[in-house]
Structure formats: structure tokens, C-alpha cells
């Protein structure tokens, strides 16, 4: 599903963020990417989202080489990748319903499909009753659920989460993780960048650790650190 071949990324200020990274993620996997701040995991996600281009190496998503994509094609790649951020990134002047419906309007879904799918996804993430609320009327957890609903509404094969629980308390974090697991159980490939030890340890999923731009560990059913 996702293949990185010898990826190196050197920023214009000569900082080497990633050094010769190769990895492969299969369809339906649940993967944690861990590492301290500045380790290069954000760079990795940015490469997948085509926010930046690699200095060297190849990226293949869904059997398509996306290493060098035309600017016009980027939106269509992103439609295959659901994204969730630490800071939620909801549109503040749209309701929960509108925020989610928005992702469908972009792919020019019919109003009928929107009316059918949005309530379905909202009830799946447990926000059916908050559909008319604006983001500033929601708790952090509810905002992240909205972001999740928006990320999966168009059934992307891959869901990328950048510190999805970074701004949430432990209880809420677990609710979000359960949701992510539910989404994964439905067949979506889930990639989570995090540095929350607790969660990684308990989930017992594949762990990829990056340190100073190099891949130092890739374990299935791993924990946050080697001792586990």
C-alpha cells in the first residue's frame, strides 16, 4: 500500500531530516511512528501528504509513484489520504455537520449522498447529537472526533494521524484510539505519529521508531521502548 525506497530529505537550510529510510506498510495495517520531537516523523508524514518533496528516493502509494507529482494532481492524491492533526484544524465558522459535509462537497458528491453519509459517520464517531454545534462549542475530544469523521467520510484507503491525542486528556485519548481501531477494523490502513508511551504500549501494534532521521526500529506488536 505504501512503500518508501531510500528516502532522504535535506531541507534548504542543510538540515538532514531523514536519512535513507526504506519501509513498507501493507493494506489494513495499524502503524505507530514514534520518535522525539525533531526526529523526522513529521517530515515523513509531510512527504506522504506531498507537502514537501524528498531529496532522494521514491514514494509509492497505492501502486502509484508519487515522488514527483504535478501540482494539479496533489489534491487527488490527498483525497485518498484521510488526515487528522493534533490541533484538529476544523473550520471554525462551519458546524460539525458542515465540516464533515465539506469534505464530500470537495469531491462533488451528490446532496443525496451527503445527506445519507454525514449522519452515518457522525453517529459512528458518537457526535450525532452535536451535528449543529460549532467547533468552539465542543470539547477537545469532540473536536477530534469531528476531524476524524471528516477524514474518513470519503472512505480513504489510508488514514494519517499526526499526534491525534496530543491535545487531549488520557481518557479522551483512549476514546479516540478506540475509534481509530474501529476504523482500522473496517479495513482502513491507519498510520499514527505519536510520542505517547502509554498508548503505544497498550495497543500492541506495529511500531516504527525514527531517531535523528534514521529508522532505528520496526517491530510488529511492539512497545514504545526496547525494554518492553
Binding site for other proteins (CB under 8 A): 49, 51, 72, 75-79, 83, 89-93, 102-103, 105-108, 110-111, 150
Q: Which is nearer to other proteins, 111 or 187 (CB)?
A: 111
Task: Give dist(CA 161, CA 142) in Å, integer.
Answer: 16
For 182, the enclosing helix (H) or strand (E) is helix 170-185
Report the nearest approach of other proteins to the CB of residue 172 (Å).
22
CB of 116 to other proteins, least distance (A): 15
Between 25 and 152, name the residue whose CB sits nearer to other proteins.
Answer: 152
* Least distance (Å) between residue 225 CB and other proteins: 31
In whole angstroms, the minimum distance from the beta carbon of 226 to other proteins comes to: 34
Distances (CA, A) of 67 to 25, 59, 160, 176, 215: 17, 5, 18, 32, 20
DSSP state of 130: G
Task: Let me know: does 92 contact 134? Beta carbons within 8 Å.
Answer: yes
**Minimal distance, residue 89 CB to other proteins, in Å:** 5
Kindly report the number of other CB atoms within 10 A of residue 223's CB atom: 17
Our CB check for other proteins shows the closer of 72 and 221 to be: 72
- Give min distance, CB of 179 to other proteins, in A: 19
Is the Cβ of residue 183 or residue 199 nearer to other proteins in the bound state?
Answer: 183
Distance CA 121, CA 150 (A): 9
Residue 111 or 170: which CB sits closer to other proteins? 111
Where do the H-state alpha helices sit in 3-58?
41-48
Residue closer to other proteins by CB (options 63, 108) is 108
The Cα angle at residue 211 between residues 33 and 25, in degrees rounded to 5:
30
Q: How far is CA 121 from CA 21, 141, 155, 166, in A?
A: 36, 16, 10, 23
Amino acid at each position: 500500500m505504501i512503500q518508501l525506497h531510500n528516502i532522504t530529505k535535506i531541507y534548504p537550510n542543510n538540515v538532514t531530516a531523514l536519512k535513507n529510510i526504506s519501509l513498507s506498510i501493507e493494506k489494513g495495517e495499524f502503524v505507530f511512528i514514534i520518535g522525539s520531537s525533531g526526529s523526522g516523523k513529521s517530515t515523513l508524514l509531510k512527504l506522504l501528504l506531498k507537502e514537501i518533496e524528498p531529496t532522494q528516493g521514491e514514494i509509492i502509494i497505492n501502486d502509484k509513484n508519487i515522488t514527483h507529482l504535478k501540482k494539479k494532481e496533489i489534491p487527488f492524491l490527498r483525497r485518498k489520504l484521510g488526515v487528522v492533526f493534533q490541533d484538529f484544524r476544523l473550520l471554525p465558522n462551519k458546524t460539525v455537520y458542515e465540516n464533515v459535509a465539506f469534505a464530500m462537497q470537495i469531491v462533488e458528491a451528490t446532496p443525496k449522498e451527503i445527506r445519507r453519509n454525514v449522519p452515518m459517520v457522525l453517529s459512528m464517531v458518537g457526535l450525532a447529537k452535536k451535528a449543529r454545534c460549532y467547533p468552539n462549542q465542543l470539547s477537545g475530544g469532540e473536536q477530534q472526533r469531528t476531524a476524524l469523521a471528516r477524514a474518513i467520510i470519503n472512505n480513504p484507503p489510508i488514514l494519517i494521524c499526526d499526534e491525534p491525542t496530543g491535545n487531549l486528556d488520557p481518557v479522551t485519548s483512549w476514546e479516540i484510539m478506540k475509534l481509530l481501531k474501529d476504523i482500522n477494523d473496517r479495513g482502513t490502513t491507519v498510520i499514527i505519529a505519536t510520542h505517547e508511551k502509554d498508548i503505544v504500549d497498550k495497543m500492541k501494534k506495529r511500531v516504527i521508531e525514527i531517531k535523528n532521521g534514521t529508522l532505528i526500529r520496526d517491530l510488529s506488536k511492539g512497545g514504545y521502548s526496547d525494554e518492553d
